[in-house]
């Protein structure tokens, strides 16, 4: 088990070797359950395939008694409706992006800060560790959610129409941005953040509305960014979480203990798959794009870049303190610092 897993998830994952096998689980009595799962993403991406495997694991280990029907691509509701769907119990389970719910999930969103987490394993460890803090437990309880596991996105890079090799090269460029923190990163190096949705990036670079696309390699390949970008800049902006998997808290509490244990075990295996498969898929995607003609550029001033941009954990704590959540943010920050220092 990787050192990056922590809290109850590390314990659950470490215990897999000595816990009951799937065959032994099949001898247990599991209630018949038909559960709905709301997923805003398409089935094809690696993170969705992991969730699909998780559901299949649960079905197999329960002898077919527990079936999870996943509704892909927001077919049960838009991405901005996912919190209400799961929190209200309209569906038993689902995945959602904390970035869409800054008021309801201000602490959870810390795992999507730029330039903080060095790789998917690190941000996965942080996401699961902070879930054990009292602050996050309170936030989840308020939203009537129980977190099961997180998926991650691979490290972010930029895909540009010109080579960027130094901090000075950022000056005056238009960089794709989103949320409240990424624009601050670009501003710190003299660039202009252009806030766009994911699906607008291809046309934005093609039409000159931006000079660089900011995103992970698997996403870049899926949306054919290598068709409109000439250069891949190897400056690493870190990884972020993608979507957590939640179950409605009232539903969770209604389940017998053996069902809860089954879900926790399957979730521990899903975490392992995620931190292995996500970076592997990113490497495959980059190899495909470079074979298609995308040129790799070595960024020469990484230390200078790091020195120029804010420490976004500090910025995040300051922002939450202004909202009356200073103590909660400090508790979460301490857990993050401990996890990243491992």
Domain ranges of the chain: 7-153+241-280, 156-238+283-323
- Which fold is adopted by the domain 7-153+241-280? D-Maltodextrin-Binding Protein; domain 2 (3.40.190)
Report the pLDDT averaged over residues 174-178: 94
For residue 3, what pLDDT is reported?
42
Residue 12 has pLDDT above 50, yes or no: no
- To the nearest 10 degrees (0 to 180), the angle between helices 326-340 and 120-130 is 140
Place of tokens 């990163």: 185
Beta strands per DSSP E along 180-258 = 192-195, 212-216, 231-233, 240-248
Alpha-carbon distance of 229 to 212, in angstroms, equals 8
For residue 9, what pLDDT is reported?
46
What 3 state SS string does 99-142 have?
HHCCCCCCCHHHHHCCCCECCHHHHHHHHHHHCCCHHHHHHHHH
For residue 20, what pLDDT is reported?
47
- The two beta strands, 240-248 and 93-95, are antiparallel
For residue 130, give both structure tokens: 């902070």
Asked whether the beta carbons of 175 and 104 are under 8 A apart, the reply is: no
Q: Which residues does 49 contact at the CB level (< 8 Å), separation at least 6?
A: 43
Asked whether the beta carbons of 225 and 202 are under 8 A apart, the reply is: yes
Alpha-carbon distance of 182 to 172, in angstroms, equals 16
Residue 163 has pLDDT above 90, yes or no: yes
Burial class (CB in 10 A: 0-12, 13-18, 19+), 222: middle
Residue 14 has pLDDT above 80, yes or no: no
Residue 15 has pLDDT above 50, yes or no: no
Residue 180 has pLDDT above 90, yes or no: no
- The H or E element that residue 18 is part of is none
The angle at the Cα of 155, spanning 153 to 156, to the nearest 5 degrees, equals 100
For residue 197, what pLDDT is reported?
78
b/e 41-79 (16+ beta carbons within 10 angstroms → b): beeebbbbebbbebbebbeebbeebbebebbbebebbeb
Residue 2 has pLDDT above 80, yes or no: no
Q: What is the average pLDDT value for the chain, to the nearest integer?
A: 92
Residue 198 has pLDDT above 80, yes or no: no
Specify the higher pLDDT residue, 152 or 24.
152
The CATH architecture one would assign to domain 156-238+283-323 is 3-Layer(aba) Sandwich (3.40)
Instruction: Quickly state the pLDDT bin for 193 (edges 50, 70, 90).
Output: very high
CA 254 to chain centre: 28
| CATH topology identical between 7-153+241-280 and 156-238+283-323 | yes
For residue 120, what pLDDT is reported?
97
Which three-class secondary structure state does DSSP give residue 174? strand
For residue 294, what pLDDT is reported?
98
Largest CA distance in the chain: 65
pTM for this predicted structure: 0.88
How many other CB atoms are there within 10 angstroms of residue 228's CB atom?
Answer: 17
Residue 24 has pLDDT above 90, yes or no: no
For residue 125, what pLDDT is reported?
97
Residue 183 has pLDDT above 50, yes or no: yes
For residue 25, what pLDDT is reported?
59
Give pLDDT tens digits for 232-268.
999 999 999 999 999 999 999 999 999 999 999 999 9
In 3D space, the residue among 34, 41, 129, 143 whose CA is nearest the CA of residue 84 turns out to be: 143
């Amino acid at each position: 088990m990787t050192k990056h897993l922590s809290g109850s998830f590390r314990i659950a994952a470490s215990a897999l070797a000595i816990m009951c096998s799937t065959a032994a689980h099949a001898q247990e009595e599991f209630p018949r359950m038909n559960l709905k799962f709301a997923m805003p993403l398409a089935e094809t991406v690696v993170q969705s395939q992991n969730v699909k495997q998780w559901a299949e694991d649960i079905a197999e280990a329960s002898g077919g008694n527990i079936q999870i029907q996943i509704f892909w691509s927001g077919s049960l509701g838009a991405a901005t409706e996912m919190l209400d769907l799961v929190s209200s119990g309209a569906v038993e389970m689902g995945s959602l992006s904390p970035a869409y719910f800054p008021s309801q999930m201000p602490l959870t969103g810390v795992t999507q800060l730029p330039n903080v987490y060095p790789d998917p394993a690190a941000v996965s460890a942080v996401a699961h560790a902070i879930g054990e803090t009292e602050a996050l437990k309170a936030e989840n309880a308020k939203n009537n959610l129980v977190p099961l596991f997180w998926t991650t996105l691979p490290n972010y890079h930029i895909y540009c129409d010109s080579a960027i090799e130094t901090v000075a090269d950022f000056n005056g460029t238009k960089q794709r941005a989103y949320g409240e923190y990424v624009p601050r990163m670009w501003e710190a190096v003299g660039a202009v953040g252009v806030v766009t949705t994911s699906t607008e990036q291809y046309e934005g670079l093609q039409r000159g509305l931006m000079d660089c696309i900011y995103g992970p390699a698997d996403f870049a390949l899926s949306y054919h960014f290598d068709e409109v970008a000439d250069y891949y800049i190897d400056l690493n902006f870190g990884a972020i979480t993608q979507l957590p998997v939640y179950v409605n808290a009232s539903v969770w509490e209604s389940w017998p203990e053996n069902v809860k244990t089954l879900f926790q075990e399957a979730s521990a295996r899903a975490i392992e798959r995620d931190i292995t498969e996500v970076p592997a898929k990113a490497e495959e995607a980059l190899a495909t794009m470079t074979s298609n003609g995308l040129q790799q550029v070595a960024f020469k001033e990484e230390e200078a870049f790091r020195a120029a941009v804010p420490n976004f954990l500090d910025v995040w704590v300051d922002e939450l303190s202004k909202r009356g959540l200073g103590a909660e943010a400090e508790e979460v920050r301490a857990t993050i610092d401990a996890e990243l220092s491992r």
